Amino acid sequence: MSKKLIAALALMGISSFSNAACSLSDITLTSVKTKFVSRCSAEDCIVLQGAAMIENKCSEAVGVQMQIIGLDQDGAAVTVDEFWPASIRNIPPGSYSFSLDQHLKYDPSIVKIELKVVNVEHWN
């Protein structure tokens, strides 16, 4: 095996190891504020407005995938959306705030909104 191939394999192993060091439990949701508002004066066009903050406790910047769920009075999911708040950018360690605007389609049966972290990825 060539020295370049060995070096490349070693770097891939180090990269995989550092990604494995960060998990869902390292990302905590610290704040969520949401409300549905009507944006139109002539017609009914209700949209979600809101903001959230997460804390990245990983030692490196990572991509975070969120899931937002609208629940009815029985706790059943009415509508669900998944999104990456920083798109394909990694979120550095520390606090990160982001918009929840229009991430959930309005349904009059929604009485509660839940937000949770569902995936952690390291973008190159």
Which pLDDT tens digit goes with each residue over 53-88? 999 999 999 999 999 999 999 999 999 999 999 999
What is the model's pLDDT at position 44? 76
Judged by average pLDDT, the poorest of 32-36, 39-43, 61-65 is 39-43
- Does 12 have pLDDT greater than 70? no
Q: What is the CATH number of domain 3-121?
A: 2.60.40
Q: Which of 66, 74, 65, 67 is nearest to 112 (CA)?
A: 74
What is the model's pLDDT at position 45? 86
Buried residues in 40-71 as b, exposed as e (16+ CB within 10 A): eeeeeeebbebebebbbebeebbbbbbebbbb
- Does 121 have pLDDT greater than 80? yes
Average pLDDT on 4-22 reads 49
Backbone phi and psi for residue 15, each to the nearest 5 degrees, phi listed first: -60, -45
